[in-house]
Amino acid sequence: MANGGKSSKVVRYNRWGYYFLIPFTAAYVIFQLIPLIDTVTQSFFENYRSGLKQIGPNFIGLANYVKILSSGDLWQYAKNTMIIWLIGFIPQIIISLLLAAWFTDPSLRLKGQRFFKTVIYLPNLIMASAFAMLFFTLFSDNGPVNSILMQLGLISTPYKFFSHVAASRCLVGFMNFLMWFGNTTILLMAGMLGIDQSLFEAAEVDGATPNQIFFRITLPLLRPILVYVIITSLIGGLQMFDVPQILTDGTGDPARTTMTMIMWLNKHLYSKNYGMAGALSVLLFIITGVLSLIVFRLTKTDTDR
């Protein structure tokens, strides 16, 4: 009797669990799953507008994919995206690790921690587009940065930041770095605070240097959070759009070297070319999946050892 009563109670609780999942599932199906399936279907159709004329939808099989893959543009833009992401991400992860280690190190007793944590997070609160506009003005040919450099006598004529490949890519990377290093710092700090303090104390007693503690204790134990940070940042990086879009006014100048994959996708929406855009989205999905898997695998073998 008592047993039966207990088990039925458990079942009832389970059912409540499912009820609570309904809103999420419904929202997921309506706003994610259906559009996802629709995107895949669209990618097999010719469907666009020329002026006011609607062309399609006509089923054309894999023609959209063939067109994208044969032109080779996708790889160019994928390369751009990865380069810009790395320019932003490498300094981001180094500085974030450093800051997180300092903030969580009890022996440093940093003052004004709350203030600095807020300040480093602030750039993330600004709209990326506003931030890009600001940089566009700062680094324009006759902008403040050029006048400062000229007054210092470092250059004699304005340096055209947006006409040089490295300069424009670095600007985009730098802005992404500024916007996201605070966020990463806070994530890594959470990870570091989760590490058992007694390990650090034991290491100190054994005479380990701060460097040894960082590389031998903090980093290995931080791995799950690091993997999370790298994968989320990678996915975010692959979907990079707003900063380069606004900074280059959608052109991806100079010579389309700052054109990211999503910017290219956006180009197809001018003519409401859902077929090509759909095919491109599916390819992007595959690229993202493959890259994430690689990162995941690389880090997993390490932890298994």
Partner 1 sequence: MKKKLVSIMMASTMVAGVLAGCGSSSGGAASTQASSDSTQAAAADTQAAAADTEAAADTSAASADEGKVLNIQCWNTEFQSRITDHYPGYEKVDDTTGKIGDVTVKWHITPSDDNAYQNNLDSILPDNESASADDKTDLFLMEADYAKKYVNSDVTMNIADLGITDDQIADQYQYTKDIVKDESGNLKGLSWQAASAGLIYNRQAAKDVLGTDDPDKVQDAVSDWDKFNSLAEKMKAKGYTMCSVNDTYRVYSNNVSGPWVQDGKVVVDDNIKKWADDSKTLADKGEENTYELWSDDWAKGKYPDGKVFCYFGPAWFFNFSLAADDASSIAAKGGWGYVQGPQPYYWGGTWIAAATGTDNPTLVKDIMLKITTDPDIMKEIAQKDSDCVNNKTVLKELASDDSGNLALLGDENPYAMLAEGADKVDMSNISDYDQGCNEEFQTAMKGYFDGSYKTYDDALAAFNKAITEKYPDVTTD
* Binding residues for partner 1 (CB under 8 A): 48-53, 55, 73, 118, 122, 125-127, 129-131, 133-134, 136-137, 140-143, 160, 163, 165, 249, 251, 253-257, 264, 267-268, 270-271, 273, 276
Q: Which is nearer to partner 1, 29 or 62 (CB)?
A: 62
Q: Which is nearer to partner 1, 223 or 256 (CB)?
A: 256
Q: How far apart are CA 47 and CA 8, in angstroms?
A: 54
For residue 196, the number of C-alpha atoms closer than 13 Å in the C-beta half-sphere is: 4
Residue 258 near residue 168, CB atoms below 8 Å = yes
Query: Which stretches of 68-133 are assigned E, i.e. beta strand?
Result: none
The distance of closest approach from Cβ of residue 256 to partner 1 in the complex, given in angstroms and rounded to an integer, is 7
The distance of closest approach from Cβ of residue 255 to partner 1 in the complex, given in angstroms and rounded to an integer, is 4
The distance of closest approach from Cβ of residue 188 to partner 1 in the complex, given in angstroms and rounded to an integer, is 22
> Dihedrals φ, ψ of 159, to 5°?
-85, 125
Q: How far apart are CA 90 and CA 141, in angstroms?
A: 28
The distance of closest approach from Cβ of residue 77 to partner 1 in the complex, given in angstroms and rounded to an integer, is 12
The distance of closest approach from Cβ of residue 275 to partner 1 in the complex, given in angstroms and rounded to an integer, is 9
The distance of closest approach from Cβ of residue 276 to partner 1 in the complex, given in angstroms and rounded to an integer, is 7
Q: Which is nearer to partner 1, 53 or 109 (CB)?
A: 53
Residues contacting 95, CB < 8 A, separation 6+: 177, 181, 185
Q: Which is nearer to partner 1, 133 or 298 (CB)?
A: 133
Inter-axis angle of helices 63-71 and 73-104, nearest 10 = 80
Q: How far apart are CA 234 and CA 238, in angstroms?
A: 6
Q: Which is nearer to partner 1, 230 or 279 (CB)?
A: 279
Q: Which is nearer to partner 1, 88 or 252 (CB)?
A: 252
Compute CA 171 distance to the chain's CA centroid, rounded to the nearest angstrom: 16
The distance of closest approach from Cβ of residue 57 to partner 1 in the complex, given in angstroms and rounded to an integer, is 13
Q: Which helix (H) or strand (E) holds 57?
A: strand 53-59
For residue 156, the number of C-alpha atoms closer than 13 Å in the C-beta half-sphere is: 0
Q: Which is nearer to partner 1, 89 or 264 (CB)?
A: 264
Is residue 59 classed as helix, strand or coil in its secondary structure? strand
